[in-house]
A = this chain, B = another copy of it.
């Protein structure tokens, strides 16, 4: 297997499969088929088989997929068979919602620090976290070798905060600010902007 060559669009579907498998597993289900998985996630069985077969032969003709085995394999491929420390930058409504969210821990992520640049917020709490000053952010992230960040600052501060995260060695940024970020080639950004998602759907209305 040469993971370098697998299209990002396929990588993007693996977390969806993993999420569905984990939900089946929670219900006590032990095996599944590409047909069943396809019905759950709304993707064709053929596409699912093709996507998964990029990484090896994980299912058996006729008996389908062992769910614990496939969860293990997908977690391994996506590097979430470990826990990634994550920082949150920005403690507006969304930053606080993420700081409170209890859905990270069992899916590979642990929020470890929360930052804001507002002196009135620094030292206060966001969820269980003391809000730290972004002035010390680069140093603190470097110290703990954190590679993943969620950015929930206003659009006007997003690039500046990104530059700090890049200097700190962060390689994956989940950006909630409604603006495109400039980052070096070895840094990944994923975007969450409800409006762009909504506009993609209104096209069809």
Contacts and interface: CB of A to CB of B under 8 A. Distances in A.
Contact of A172 (B39, B155, B205): B205
A44 to B, nearest CB: 14
A190 B107 CA distance: 21
Contact of A198 (B40, B174, B195): B174
A202 interface: yes
Contact of A201 (B101, B174, B203): B174
A84 interface: yes
Nearest to A179: B23
A199 interface: yes
A200 B103 contact: no
Given A19-B178, A100-B93, A180-B41, A147 B192 contact: no
A141 interface: no
Interface in A14-41: 14-16, 18-20, 23, 39-41
Query: So how many copies of this chain end up in the complex?
Result: 2
Interface residues of A, number: 63
B11 A203 contact: yes
Interface in A66-121: 77-80, 84, 86, 92-94, 96-98, 100-101, 103-104, 107-109
A49 interface: no
Nearest to A43: B180
20 contacts: A15-B196, A19-B193, A19-B195, A19-B196, A78-B202, A79-B202, A79-B203, A79-B205, A84-B198, A93-B93, A103-B195, A107-B195, A107-B199, A108-B198, A147-B205, A148-B198, A148-B201, A172-B204, A174-B198, A190-B200
Interface of A: 8, 11-12, 14-16, 18-20, 23, 39-42, 77-80, 84, 86, 92-94, 96-98, 100-101, 103-104, 107-109, 147-148, 150, 155, 171-172, 174, 178-182, 188-205
